[in-house]
């Protein structure tokens, strides 16, 4: 009985493997890049926080947006967040400022006790939620960039890691999230 010639099967298998690796597309993970704050026992519970230190952003099931009970458009959110976080005039209705020593910046008055609280209805669109998140991140980036240009004469992106840490200490990003409703968000 003659034997079956299997000499070319390995070549064919290898060629098919290469073909599938070249033709197959891999999905990339999408989402928000977030660095969670370290666990701390010094964090004040939200119930004990001063009202002036909390900015409440609500996304309703019909995708309308409100800040501290006032309905606004998404485009209006960035300047409001910037005003809230910076409190340039030390207004009594905005977060209180505390003097702190920041390495690289010296003694500064910062609003390090502020919290931006996002409450999203589970029936709201993801698009609205991501637009809100993008505006908040853009507000912090714009504030840090302005301070970098003022203190270091260069944009935030060109700063050293040490300078970036100082800028993040000056404008710490403090965002809390909460969800309401029964349904999941719509794509």
Q: Do the beta carbons of residue 179 and residue 119 sit within 8 Å?
A: yes
Q: Which contiguous run of DSSP H or E holds residue 149?
A: helix 126-152
Question: Is residue 187 predicted with pLDDT exceeding 60?
Answer: no
Choose the weakest-confidence range: 21-30, 38-47, 54-63, 106-115: 38-47
What is the pLDDT averaged over residues 4-20? 86
Question: Is residue 45 predicted with pLDDT exceeding 60?
Answer: no
Where does residue 174 rank: exposed (0-12), middle (13-18), buried (19+ CB within 10 A)?
A: buried
Residue, of 43 and 20, whose pLDDT is higher: 20
Ramachandran quadrant class, 181 (left: phi over 0; alpha: psi -120 to 50; beta: rest): left
The confidence band for 126, taking pLDDT boundaries of 50, 70 and 90, is confident
Question: Is residue 153 predicted with pLDDT exceeding 60?
Answer: yes
pTM for the complete prediction? 0.72
Q: Give me the percent of the chain exceeding a pLDDT of 90.
A: 47
> What mean pLDDT value characterizes the chain?
84
Question: Is residue 4 predicted with pLDDT exceeding 90?
Answer: no
Residue, of 173 and 31, whose pLDDT is higher: 173
Residue, of 3 and 122, whose pLDDT is higher: 122
Task: Give the pairing type, strands 106-110 and 98-102.
Answer: antiparallel
Q: What is the pLDDT of residue 186?
A: 42
Separation CA 55–CA 81 (nearest Å): 8
| Tokens encoding 43 | 């964090």
Question: Is residue 6 predicted with pLDDT exceeding 80?
Answer: no
Residue, of 187 and 93, whose pLDDT is higher: 93
Question: Is residue 32 predicted with pLDDT exceeding 60?
Answer: no
């Amino acid at each position: 009985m003659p034997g079956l010639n299997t000499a070319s099967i390995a070549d064919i298998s290898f060629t098919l493997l290469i073909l599938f690796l070249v033709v197959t597309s891999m999905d990339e993970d999408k989402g928000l890049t977030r660095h969670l704050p370290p666990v701390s026992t010094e964090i004040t519970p939200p119930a004990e926080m001063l009202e002036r230190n909390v900015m409440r952003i609500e996304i309703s099931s019909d995708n309308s947006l409100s800040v501290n009970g006032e309905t606004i458009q998404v485009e209006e959110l960035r300047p409001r967040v910037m005003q809230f976080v910076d409190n340039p005039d030390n207004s009594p209705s905005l977060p209180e400022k505390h003097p702190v020593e920041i390495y690289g910046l010296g003694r500064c008055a910062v609003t390090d006790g502020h919290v931006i609280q996002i409450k999203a209805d589970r029936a709201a669109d993801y698009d609205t939620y991501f637009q809100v998140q993008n505006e908040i991140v853009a507000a912090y980036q714009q504030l840090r960039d302005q301070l970098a240009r003022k203190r270091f004469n260069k944009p935030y992106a060109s700063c050293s890691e040490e300078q970036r840490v100082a800028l993040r200490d000056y404008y710490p990003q403090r965002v809390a999230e909460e969800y309401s409703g029964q349904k999941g968000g719509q794509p």
